[in-house]
Amino acid sequence: ESKRLGSNEPCRCTEDMVQAIKRKHRIADILRSTIAEDGFQIHYQPIWSIPRQRFVAAEALCRLTSTELGPIPPAEFIPIAEETGLIVDMTYQVLDKVCKFVKSARDEHPDAPLESVSVNFSAIQFVQSDLAERTLAIVKANGIEPSSIKIEVTESVLISNPDTVKQLIMAMHEVGIQFCLDDFGTGYSNLSNILDLPFDVVKLDKSIVWMASERDFEGSDFLGHLVASFKAMGSAVLAEGVETQAQRAFIESCGCSLIQGFLYAKPSPQSEALAIIAGK
């Protein structure tokens, strides 16, 4: 129902919109206090290697829960963290926890084949000129090899200033940090900009994986060639969102070497994820 705000101008805000705005502000407050307490929870989703037939890596996925609102999905809080700029501090805290996870995995499970953990970075962070410096400082302070960390970015990182972005990525890549192109197949950036960057892994978005496993899908040859092309350029190809055996079989037939999906493992807290990766 519309309300009037004093004047005779009708307010176009419905009660739903008012509630949505209030919830957004509430979530921004929760993000602020979680940052103040360094209190983000992180779940790790194990990543399966097809050639090696075992888990080799994991993706860190940030979790936010409040006593008042319960669990808040990333699809809701990440855009708010981006709009408020809180994503910058949030990501450094997540990265620091991920480095500690890698370290404890090496210490507590020396036989665990965990090679790297990936962390999602937001496109808006790539306007920060100290991004590479601060990222490397966190990795170094934790005493882990930079090659244990993979940074995931989506094509949206390339929309505004590809030259600056390339410089930042190169600065981190040169010292050993790896990069993943996340959600590939959903963006609309210039292909030459993508091909110009050193992606160690290209992650096929789940929408492609799901579409490709439909009976009447006609793009299998195309996908096979696409995967082969990325491999020829030195990128491994990972399939996201693999939920069924049919999807797994299709993905294998396309030549993907890495799989991340509920069929293999769901995101879970640190100790559970480590046990899964260690095969215990």
Binding site for ligand C2E (CB under 6 A): 45, 61-62, 73-75, 78, 91, 94, 120, 122, 152, 182-183, 206, 240-243, 260-262, 267
Using CB distances below 5 to 8 A depending on partner kind, what does residue 262 bind out of Mg ion, ligand C2E, none?
ligand C2E
Compute the least distance from the CB of residue 163 to ligand C2E, in Å: 22
For residues 210 to 249, the per-residue mask of contacts with Mg ion, x marking binding by CB under 5 A and - elsewhere, is: ------------------------------x---------
Compute the least distance from the CB of residue 122 to ligand C2E, in Å: 4
Closest to ligand C2E by CB, 18 or 249: 249
Closest to ligand C2E by CB, 10 or 71: 71
Closest to ligand C2E by CB, 58 or 114: 58
* DSSP 8-state code for residue 39: -
Neighbours of 120 (CB within 10 A): 19
Cβ atoms of 150 and 57 within 8 Å: the answer is yes
Adjacent-strand bridge partners of 152: 120, 180
The CA-to-CA distance between both ends of the chain, in Å, stands at 56
CB neighbour list of residue 261: distance below 8 Å, 6 or more residues apart: 206, 209, 239, 240, 241, 242, 243, 247, 248
- Binding residue for Mg ion, selected from 45, 91, 93, 120, defined by CB under 5 A: 120
Torsion of CA 229, 235, 236, 240, to 10 degrees: -90
Amino acid present at 259: I
Q: How many CA atoms lie within 13 A of 257 on its CB side?
A: 15
Using CB distances below 5 to 8 A depending on partner kind, what does residue 46 bind out of Mg ion, ligand C2E, none?
none
Using CB distances below 5 to 8 A depending on partner kind, what does residue 267 bind out of ligand C2E, Mg ion, none?
ligand C2E
Compute the least distance from the CB of residue 150 to ligand C2E, in Å: 11
Closest to ligand C2E by CB, 207 or 253: 207
For residues 152 to 171, the per-residue mask of contacts with Mg ion, x marking binding by CB under 5 A and - elsewhere, is: x-------------------
Rule CB under 5 A: say whether 183 interacts with Mg ion.
yes
Using CB distances below 5 to 8 A depending on partner kind, what does residue 61 bind out of Mg ion, ligand C2E, none?
ligand C2E
Closest to Mg ion by CB, 32 or 186: 186
Closest to ligand C2E by CB, 71 or 176: 71
Compute the least distance from the CB of residue 76 to ligand C2E, in Å: 9
- The angle, 0 to 180 degrees and rounded to 10, between the axes of the packed helices 220-232 and 245-253 is 60
Q: Which stretch binds Mg ion (CB under 5 A): 19-27, 80-88, 106-114, 120-128?
A: 120-128
Torsion of CA 23, 28, 30, 35, to 10 degrees: 170
Cβ atoms of 242 and 248 within 8 Å: the answer is yes
Rule CB under 5 A: say whether 270 interacts with Mg ion.
no
- Placement of tokens 């507590």 in the chain: 108
Q: Do strands 178-184 and 149-154 pair parallel, antiparallel, or not at all (unpaired)?
A: parallel
Q: What's the rounded Cα separation, in Å, for the pair 276 and 28?
A: 34
